[in-house]
Amino acid sequence: MDLFNVYPINPINIVKAHGSTIWDAEGNEYLDLYGGHAVISIGHTHPHYVESLTAQLNRIGFYSNSIEIPMQKQLAQQLGELSGKGDYTLFLCNSGAEANENALKLASFHNRKKKIIAFTRSFHGRTSLAVAVTDNPNIVAPVNETDNVIFLPFNDEEALADAFNRYGEEVSSVIIEGIQGVGGIREASTAFLKLIRSLCDQYDAVFIADSVQCGYGRTGDFFSHDYAGISADIYTMAKGMGNGFPIGAVAIAPKFQASFGLLGTTFGGNHLACAAAVAVLDVIKSEQLLQNARTVGSYLMDELKKFDKVKEVRGRGLMIGIELPEELSQVKKDLLQKNRIFTGEAKPNVIRILPALNIDKDIADRFLTAFDERLKA
């Protein structure tokens, strides 16, 4: 059997990793400033993480949600403390798309309405509802097409107010990333997030904050939407939550009513996944990674803004987009092939920096030196 060929692959076989350093099978060393799509939050093979998972695996790896799994409560408790959402409840699942799928369903169960407002350049995942609210027709199959989704221009307050004026009574939820990731590191404005909050309140619609990529401390706030001083009704999470172990979650405001069978999953919240997520939260807290994301992120952004060949630097904390002019579109590839630095991209010409939250200034400087070299080349 061959693999279903859907990924454009870099011919690199990574065999070992530690912190933000990775090695390929030939022994070449790379700097990882991408963490496999923003997943590596506390660095590769962090000792506390490895110990926690190993010990858990030696006890029990998996059982389903038909028995008590006390670590789920521990995870919910720690997550509530760190995020400041202690009064929310937690539903555990396995990925970002699944988290959004459940959030959108839950909103509709809650207010019995059908329409969803989403925004241009959004990415929310590839399952049926998640992809329907994703602004990329190329990945929406005919069976996922629906009239229930209204796409509006991102950060356009007037368009949002108009849409609520027209369809308000039918709108079940509004879903928005605090900073769009796949869309090119574009930040939702404070005024826009505040308007979403007030219109959702006015029309009994649910505010869903997709924090799958921009959340979990990456911007220096626990959820990137916190920056606007608002509380969403539902937060979705995944990526950095398990530092590579698949886990996703939905944090749900107190007004939502749970009932047996309303949501469910076989794998979600299993012992090993909880051990991974708890270990990540332990490290985020003990190593003060929100503070570090803020400090190192600001330093990187300030320095990047000094390059006059750069069109724009966007983002916050350690979620950074560097927009380059067309003639420098080769820089991302060269950073990997010539300087052995992993970064991400967004179309057409944005380099995405999504490193582990514990990178230090030395690592930031290594990147800046290499980036300077590439711009001069």
Ligand X SMILES: Cc1ncc(COP(=O)(O)O)c(C=O)c1O
Binding region for ligand X (CB under 6 A): 37, 95-97, 100, 123-125, 177, 181-182, 210, 212-213, 238
User: Looking at beta carbons only, is 237 or 363 nearer to ligand X?
Assistant: 237
For the bound state, the minimum distance from the C-beta of residue 267 to ligand X, rounded and expressed in Å, comes to 13
For the bound state, the minimum distance from the C-beta of residue 126 to ligand X, rounded and expressed in Å, comes to 6
For the bound state, the minimum distance from the C-beta of residue 359 to ligand X, rounded and expressed in Å, comes to 20
Considering only CA atoms, which of 307, 298, 314 is closest in space to residue 364? 298
For the bound state, the minimum distance from the C-beta of residue 371 to ligand X, rounded and expressed in Å, comes to 24
User: Among all chains, which residue has been given the structure tokens 């909880």?
Assistant: 274
Whether the Cβ atoms of residue 206 and residue 149 lie closer than 8 Å to each other:
no
State which amino acid sits at residue 289: L
For the bound state, the minimum distance from the C-beta of residue 232 to ligand X, rounded and expressed in Å, comes to 14
Which token pair is 157? Answer: 């307050």
Whether the Cβ atoms of residue 108 and residue 100 lie closer than 8 Å to each other:
no
> Could you give the 3-state DSSP secondary structure of residue 217?
coil
User: Looking at beta carbons only, is 209 or 363 nearer to ligand X?
Assistant: 209
Report the C-alpha gap between 299 and 181 in whole angstroms. 20
User: Looking at beta carbons only, is 175 or 322 nearer to ligand X?
Assistant: 175
User: Looking at beta carbons only, is 32 or 98 nearer to ligand X?
Assistant: 98
For the bound state, the minimum distance from the C-beta of residue 325 to ligand X, rounded and expressed in Å, comes to 25
- Residue 147: count other Cβ atoms within 10 Å of its Cβ: 7
> Could you give the 3-state DSSP secondary structure of residue 45?
coil
For the bound state, the minimum distance from the C-beta of residue 100 to ligand X, rounded and expressed in Å, comes to 6
* Distance set, CA 284 to CA 115, 246, 295, 352, 370 (Å): 37, 18, 15, 22, 28
| Residue 139 DSSP label | G
Pairing of strands 206-210, 234-237: parallel
Q: How far is CA 215 from the centre of its chain?
A: 5
- Give the up-direction half-sphere exposure of residue 198: CA atoms within 13 A in the CB hemisphere: 10
User: Looking at beta carbons only, is 238 or 276 nearer to ligand X?
Assistant: 238
User: Looking at beta carbons only, is 100 or 108 nearer to ligand X?
Assistant: 100
Q: By beta-carbon distance, which residue lies closest to ligand X?
A: 96
User: Looking at beta carbons only, is 131 or 363 nearer to ligand X?
Assistant: 131
User: Which H helix or E strand runs over 179?
Assistant: strand 179-180
State which amino acid sits at residue 215: G
User: Looking at beta carbons only, is 269 or 364 nearer to ligand X?
Assistant: 269
For the bound state, the minimum distance from the C-beta of residue 106 to ligand X, rounded and expressed in Å, comes to 16
